[in-house]
C-alpha cells in the first residue's frame, strides 16, 4: 500500500476518537512551546538554532540559516543568487513577501542570447557572465536583519562566516554536481581557485574552506548593503564579470532593491493558504490548482483517479503560467481573475473525470482576460513568528563563474526569462512577451514558500526543484490536508505535469504498475524512470528537497519534516515537549 493511501486509512481508523474529542471545545495554544527549523543542511539548521539561543527571533534565524546555506550549498544557492522570503510577524499578524529575485542587466537584451542562425545560444544563457542577473540575496539579508530582526547583522552572519572560514566536509551531492559542471566552472580562474586542490577537483570528504567568501560575508556584516554592492566587493564583482566577457555597471549593481509584495492569500477547504506572489508563478498556480481540486473528494478516490485529477489541474495552471505571468512591475498580470474561485470552476468544468485532456487541445495562444537546484528552509519561533525562505542560483552551481577574490558564485537566472519566445528553457518551460528580459526586470520564478493555517495547525512548507517546485508544494498541501505528519509530507512520492511536454513525470516508485496502467488507459503519457514492473526504464530518479515545520496548537507541539532524499538535510525542534 502506498504511503499516501496508508495515511488515509489511518485517518479513517482514528476518526471516531477524533469525533469524541470534538465534543469538548479544544484549548488552543496562542504561542508555540519552543521553536522549529528545517533546512537542507544540518550546519544551516544549527546556525539558526544558535541565533535563537542568543535571543534572536525567527527573522534573525532566517538570516543565519540563509547565509549558512549560501556557504554549504553552493550547488543550490548563494550570495550570487536571489530568493523569496515569506514572513509572518506574530505581533502584528501581518504576512509579507520579500522579493529578492535577480534583475536583468541593461546589456542583456534578447539579441545577445541568439546565435548566428537566430536560435537560442544555450551556452550563453546558462554559463558564464551573460547568464547572470544582478544578485538579490545579500540585500535581502540586510533588510530582514534591519527591519525584522533583534540582533545586529554581525551576529546573525557570524555562523556563516565561521563555516566559510573553517570549512565543512564536501558531501556526495556537492561532489557529483561539480563533476557534472566541471568543464564550465574550470573556464574561470576565480572558480578554479576555490574548487581545485593542487589541480584536483573537490571530492567527497574534503574539508572545503572558502576564505574569500568569509571575507565577503564579513564586509556584508560590517557595512551592510554597501559591503556587497559597493566598495571592495562591488569592484571585484564588476571586474570579474568584465574579465569573463560580460557587462554589468556599477550603477545597476548599487541600484538593486528588495521589493515588498503582498502575498497571495486564498482558502482551500478549511485551510488559509498564504503563498508567494509574482514574480513567483507559484502562488497563482497553487490558487488555481487547489480551487479546481476542491470540487472533488480526493480522499475517497483510488490513487489513479486522484492522480488524474491533480494532473489535469497542474496542466491548466501551467498553461496559464506560460502566457500571463512575469514581473508585476513590468507586466499587467490578470491576478484577480487567475486566482478567483469562478475562474477555477470554469477550468474544472473542462476536466473529464475519466480522460486526459491532450495539452494541444488547450489553446496555444494567450486567451483574452500566466532537481535539485535551489534550496528552502522553514522556521517557527517561540513568539509565533515564521519564515519560509526559498533561494537559488538556478542550475547546479549557477553560471559557474566566481569573480576573483569574492568567493561569490554567480547565478544563471537569465535562462528563466523567455530569451526567445516559445523556446523552452533548461527546465522545459516556455514563455512569451510577459517574461521577456528588460533592464531591471525580474525573471519569472517557481519558488513557492507557503504558509498553511487552520483552527488547529500552523505550517510552513517549501522546496527546491525548478519548475517542479509548485507541484511538490501542491502535493505537500494535499498531504497535510489528508492528515499526514510533517515528516510523512516531506517523504511523499512526487509526480509532475507542466502542460508541455504533455507527459506525467514521476519519481522512481511513485506509481505501482496498476496505477500507471490506469493512467495510461485514461490517455496520459507517463514517464516512469523506476521499476520495470510498473513500465519504467529501470533507472532511479528522485527530485526535490522539501523542508517543512508544523505547530499543532491543540497539543502545543512542534515538529519538522526534512526530505529523506537529501541525507544532509536537518530538522530541529527546541521545546520541552519534544
Report whether 282 contacts 337 (CB < 8 A).
no
> The cell 503563498 sits on which residue?
275
Q: Cell 496548537 appears where?
A: 553
Task: Provide the residue count of the chain.
Answer: 578
CA-CA-CA-CA dihedral for 13, 15, 20, 23, to nearest 10: 170
Adjacency order of strands within the sheet including 259-261: 259-261, 94-100, 82-89, 386-392, 375-380, 35-39, 570-574
Q: How many CA atoms lie within 13 A of 411 on its CB side?
A: 32
Residue 266: strand, helix, or coil: strand
Q: CA-to-CA distance for 374 and 390, rounded, in angstroms?
A: 7
Q: Would you say the C-alpha torsion 389, 171, 217, 229 has a positive or negative sign? A: negative
Choosing from 45, 307, 374, 548, which is the catalytic residue?
374
* Sheet of 495-496, strand order: 495-496, 504-506, 526-527
Q: What's the rounded Cα separation, in Å, for the pair 280 and 273?
A: 15
How many Å apart are CA 90 and CA 84, to the nearest integer? 19
Cβ-contact 478, 298 below 8 angstroms = yes
User: Residue 240 and residue 533: Cα distance in Å, rounded?
Assistant: 52
Beta-strand relationship, 457-462 and 547-552 = antiparallel
Examine the residue annotation and report whether 374 is marked as an active-site residue of this protein. yes
Which candidate, 61, 48, 7, places its Cα nearest to that of 493? 7
Strands (E), 445-546: 450-453, 457-462, 495-496, 504-506, 526-527
Q: Where are the alpha helices (DSSP H) in 196-334?
A: 211-223, 226-229, 231-243, 250-254, 282-293, 303-324
CA dihedral 291, 292, 298, 302 (to 10 degrees): -160
Task: Collect all residues with Cβ–Cβ distance below 8 Å to 550 and sequence separation of at least 6.
Answer: 36, 457, 458, 459, 480, 485, 486, 558, 559, 560, 561
Q: Which helix (H) or strand (E) holds 68?
A: helix 58-72
φ and ψ at 35, to 5 degrees?
A: -145, 155
Closest CA to 461 of 562, 356, 327, 540: 562
Non-local (6+) Cβ contacts of 16 within 8 A are none
> Phi and psi dihedrals of 44, rounded to 5?
-70, -45
Do the Cβ atoms of 540 and 529 come closer than 8 Å? Answer: yes
**Enzyme catalytic residues:** 374
Amino acid at each position: 500500500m502506498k504511503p499516501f493511501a496508508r495515511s488515509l486509512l489511518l485517518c479513517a481508523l482514528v476518526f471516531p476518537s477524533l469525533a469524541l474529542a470534538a465534543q469538548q471545545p479544544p484549548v488552543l495554544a496562542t504561542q508555540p512551546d519552543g521553536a522549529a527549523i528545517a533546512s537542507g543542511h544540518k550546519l544551516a539548521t544549527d546556525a539558526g538554532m544558535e541565533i535563537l539561543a542568543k535571543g534572536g527571533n525567527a527573522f534573525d534565524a532566517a538570516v543565519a540559516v540563509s547565509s549558512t546555506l549560501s556557504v554549504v550549498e553552493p550547488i543550490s544557492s548563494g550570495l550570487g543568487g536571489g530568493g523569496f522570503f515569506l514572513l509572518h510577524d506574530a505581533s502584528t499578524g501581518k504576512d509579507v513577501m520579500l522579493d529578492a529575485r535577480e534583475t536583468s542587466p541593461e546589456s542583456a537584451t534578447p539579441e545577445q542570447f541568439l546565435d548566428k542562425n537566430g536560435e537560442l545560444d544555450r551556452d550563453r544563457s546558462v554559463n558564464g557572465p551573460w547568464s547572470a542577473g544582478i544578485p538579490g540575496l545579500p540585500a535581502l539579508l540586510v533588510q530582514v536583519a534591519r527591519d525584522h530582526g533583534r540582533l545586529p547583522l554581525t551576529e546573525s552572519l557570524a555562523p556563516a562566516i565561521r563555516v566559510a572560514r573553517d570549512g565543512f566536509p564536501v558531501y556526495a551531492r556537492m561532489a557529483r554536481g561539480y563533476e557534472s559542471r566541471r568543464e564550465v566552472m574550470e573556464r574561470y580562474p576565480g572558480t578554479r581557485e576555490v574548487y581545485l586542490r593542487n589541480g584536483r577537483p573537490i571530492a567527497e570528504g574534503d574539508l572545503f574552506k572558502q576564505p574569500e567568501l568569509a571575507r565577503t560575508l564579513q564586509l556584508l556584516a560590517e557595512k551592510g548593503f554597501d559591503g556587497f554592492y559597493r566598495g571592495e566587493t562591488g569592484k571585484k564583482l564588476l571586474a570579474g564579470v568584465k574579465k569573463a566577457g560580460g557587462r554589468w555597471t556599477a550603477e545597476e549593481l548599487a541600484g538593486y532593491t528588495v521589493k515588498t509584495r503582498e502575498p497571495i492569500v486564498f482558502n482551500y477547504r478549511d485551510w488559509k493558504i498564504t503563498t508567494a506572489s509574482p514574480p513567483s508563478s507559484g502562488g497563482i498556480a497553487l490558487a488555481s490548482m487547489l480551487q479546481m481540486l476542491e470540487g472533488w473528494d480526493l480522499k475517497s478516490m483510488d490513487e489513479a483517479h486522484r492522480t488524474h485529477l491533480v494532473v489535469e489541474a497542474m496542466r491548466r495552471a501551467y498553461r496559464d503560467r506560460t502566457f500571463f505571468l512575469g514581473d508585476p512591475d513590468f507586466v499587467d498580470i490578470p491576478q484577480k481573475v487567475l486566482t478567483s474561485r469562478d475562474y477555477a470552476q470554469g477550468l474544472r468544468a473542462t476536466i473529464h473525470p475519466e480522460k486526459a485532456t491532450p495539452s494541444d487541445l488547450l489553446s496555444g495562444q494567450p486567451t483574452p482576460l500566466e532537481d535539485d537546484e535551489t534550496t528552502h528552509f522553514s522556521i517557527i519561533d517561540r513568539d509565533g513568528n515564521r519564515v519560509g525562505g526559498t533561494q537559488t542560483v538556478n542550475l547546479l552551481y549557477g553560471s559557474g563563474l566566481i569573480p576573483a577574490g569574492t568567493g561569490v558564485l554567480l547565478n544563471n537566472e537569465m535562462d528563466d526569462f523567455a530569451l526567445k519566445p516559445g523556446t523552452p528553457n533548461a527546465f522545459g518551460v516556455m514563455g512569451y512577451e510577459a517574461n521577456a528580459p528588460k533592464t531591471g526586470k525580474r525573471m519569472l520564478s517557481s519558488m513557492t514558500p507557503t504558509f498553511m493555517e487552520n483552527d488547529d495547525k500552523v505550517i510552513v512548507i517549501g522546496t527546491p526543484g525548478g519548475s517542479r517546485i509548485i507541484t511538490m508544494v501542491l502535493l505537500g498541501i494535499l498531504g497535510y490536508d489528508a492528515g499526514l505528519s510533517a515528516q510523512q509530507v516531506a517523504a511523499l512520492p512526487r509526480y509532475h505535469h507542466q502542460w508541455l511536454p504533455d507527459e506525467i513525470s514521476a519519481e522512481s516508485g511513485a506509481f505501482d504498475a496498476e496505477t500507471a496502467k490506469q493512467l495510461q488507459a485514461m490517455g496520459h503519457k507517463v514517464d516512469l524512470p523506476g521499476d520495470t514492473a510498473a513500465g519504467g526504464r529501470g533507472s532511479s530518479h528522485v527530485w526535490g528537497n522539501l523542508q517543512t515545520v508544523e505547530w499543532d496548537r491543540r497539543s502545543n507541539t512542534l515538529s519538522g519534516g526534512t526530505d529523506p532524499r537529501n541525507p544532509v538535510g536537518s530538522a530541529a525542534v527546541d521545546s520541552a515537549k519534544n
